[in-house]
Amino acid sequence: MSSLSISGLVKGYGEAPVLQGVDLEVPAGSLTAVLGLSGCGKTTLLRLIAGFERPEQGRIALGANTLEDASTHVAPEKRSIGYVPQDGALFPHLSVAGNVGFGLPRRERRGRAVQEPLEMVGIAHLARRMPHELSGGEQQRVALARALARRPAALLLDEPFSSLDATLRNRVREEVHTLLRDHGVTTVLVTHDQEEALSLADSVAVLRDGRIVQQGAPAELYELPADSRLAEFLGAVNLVPASFGAGTALTALGELPLRGAGGAGAAAGMVMIRPEQLEVSPRLDGAAANGLTGTVRQCRYYGHDAILEICPEQPGPIEMLLARVTGEHALAEGTRVSVLARGPVSAI
């Protein structure tokens, strides 16, 4: 296994550049997700790493080997980088075994070298099938087995689960995750699904406007996003005005501990409070106000949990708060509630 390092990658189609200097570090054996909206250049990035296209500028290295720079272009077949495209792209004229053995030397195309990767992805019994006889999830697994059969130094996954329906997607996702972790394959996964990126990856890099705006562990990104757009992209969020003290933020929800070094130097600004940081309880008439008081304006019920839209009763800087409660604690619209925040919060 080798680490993959990418620096200053520039790629443009005509006038509008797609990638404007992408830097990305993928440590050996880790799974790094590149997260971005569709059309942000994710697929282009993968195609450059795979060697299907040449960048205008920048460097790609696998371990100590330079794959791409101003004077070098290693052909895709010499990179030892596996590629699993969005729909699997199985060769329709070859059986499952033929697909998996495609990249192997002729004498290894039968037997263990083909059987093993198929067993790894749990579809050894389908070896004789043709691709059109497989379900979407099975096709994805064959594509993965095919890429893994050559024991590549790194693996690229291009939205591998997006064509699967919801239940299947979760299952295949879990299995692939376990498989890649067990074998310690250096992997780059691109996706537009933040849930997928956060739950699967060791490290998440957010690609926006042709650049990586932030890269870090999933929790780091979720809790300390670089800006408010990123905060909203990763999940529902409340942005609340605050004035900063020493390690604390004073907000309409009370004084809350600050996470990290955010807010240092500034007297006032915004802090980010995730909906699950708010504790909501029905307020009985006459009871003393505990925290901020408000009314449930809408309740979006998802089963396992629910999101409450709460309008504060006191006029103030906060127009509306989103709070996440477990499904059994969903409250009817119009319920009067009191809201408490659990710190720490992050300055934006």
Partner 1 sequence: MSSIAPPQPVPQRVGRIWSGRGRWPLLGSAGAAVAAGLVLLPLVFLVVQAQRSGWGEVQRLIFRHSVAVLLWNTVRLAVACTALCALLGVAAAWCVERTALPGRRLWAVALILPLGVPDFVVGFGWVSLSPGLHGYLAAVMIMTLSLYPLVYLPVASSLRQVDAGLEEAGRSLGLGPWATFAKVTLRQIWPAVLGGCMLVTLGLLAEYGAFEIVQYQTFTVAIFTEFKLGFDAAGACALSLVLVLLSVAVLGVELAIGNRGRAWRAGPGARRSVRRVPLGRWMAPALCGLGTLAGLAIGVPLGSLVYWMVRGSSTTLPSASLLSAAGNTAAYSAAAAAVSSALALPVAALAVRHRNRLTILIERLAYLPMALPGLVIALGLVAFSVRYAFPLYQSPVELVAAYSILFLPLALVGVRSAMGQASPRLEEVGRSLGCSRAAVWWRVTLPLIAPGLAAAFALVFISAATELTATLLLRPTGVNTLATQFWAYTTDFSYGAAAPYAAMMVAISAVPAYLLSRRMSAPERIGGS
For residue 302, CA distances in Å to 188, 274, 290, 306, 307 come to: 31, 17, 27, 5, 8
Residue selected from 5, 7, 20, 162 as contacting partner 1 according to rule CB under 8 A = 20
Beta bridge partners of residue 101, listed in sequence order: none
93 binds partner 1 (CB under 8 A): yes
Q: Please, which residue, 78 or 125, has the CB nearer to partner 1? A: 78
- d(Cα 170, Cα 288) in Å, to the nearest integer? 45
The least CB distance from residue 125 to partner 1, in Å, is 19
Pairing verdict, β 268-273 and 81-84: unpaired
Beta bridge partners of residue 204, listed in sequence order: 33, 216
Residue selected from 31, 35, 62, 79 as contacting partner 1 according to rule CB under 8 A = 79
Q: Please, which residue, 53 or 195, has the CB nearer to partner 1? A: 53
Phi, psi of 85 (to 5 degrees): -75, 170
Q: Binders of partner 1 among 212-271, rule CB under 8 A?
A: none
- d(Cα 6, Cα 212) in Å, to the nearest integer? 11
Q: Please, which residue, 135 or 314, has the CB nearer to partner 1? A: 135
- d(Cα 10, Cα 15) in Å, to the nearest integer? 13
- d(Cα 262, Cα 224) in Å, to the nearest integer? 9
Residue selected from 36, 41, 51, 294 as contacting partner 1 according to rule CB under 8 A = 51
Residue selected from 21, 27, 29, 241 as contacting partner 1 according to rule CB under 8 A = 21
16 binds partner 1 (CB under 8 A): no
Q: Please, which residue, 57 or 335, has the CB nearer to partner 1? A: 57
Residue selected from 2, 7, 57, 293 as contacting partner 1 according to rule CB under 8 A = 57
Q: Binders of partner 1 among 29-48, rule CB under 8 A?
A: 47
Alpha helices per DSSP H over the chain: 42-50, 96-100, 112-120, 136-149, 166-183, 194-200, 218-223, 228-234
Residue selected from 37, 39, 72, 91 as contacting partner 1 according to rule CB under 8 A = 91
Q: Binders of partner 1 among 281-300, rule CB under 8 A?
A: none
The least CB distance from residue 58 to partner 1, in Å, is 10
> Residue 265: left (phi > 0), alpha (psi -120 to 50), or beta?
left
107 binds partner 1 (CB under 8 A): no
Percent helix, strand and coil across the chain, each rounded to 5?
25, 35, 35
The least CB distance from residue 265 to partner 1, in Å, is 23
Q: Which stretch binds partner 1 (CB under 8 A): 82-90, 179-187, 237-245, 278-286?
A: 82-90
Residue closest to 327 by CA, chosen among 299, 348, 346, 347: 299
150 binds partner 1 (CB under 8 A): yes
The least CB distance from residue 55 to partner 1, in Å, is 9
Footprint on this chain of partner 1 (rule: CB under 8 A) = 8, 10, 12, 17, 20-21, 47, 50-52, 56-57, 75-83, 85, 87, 89, 91-93, 102-103, 132, 134-136, 139, 146-147, 150
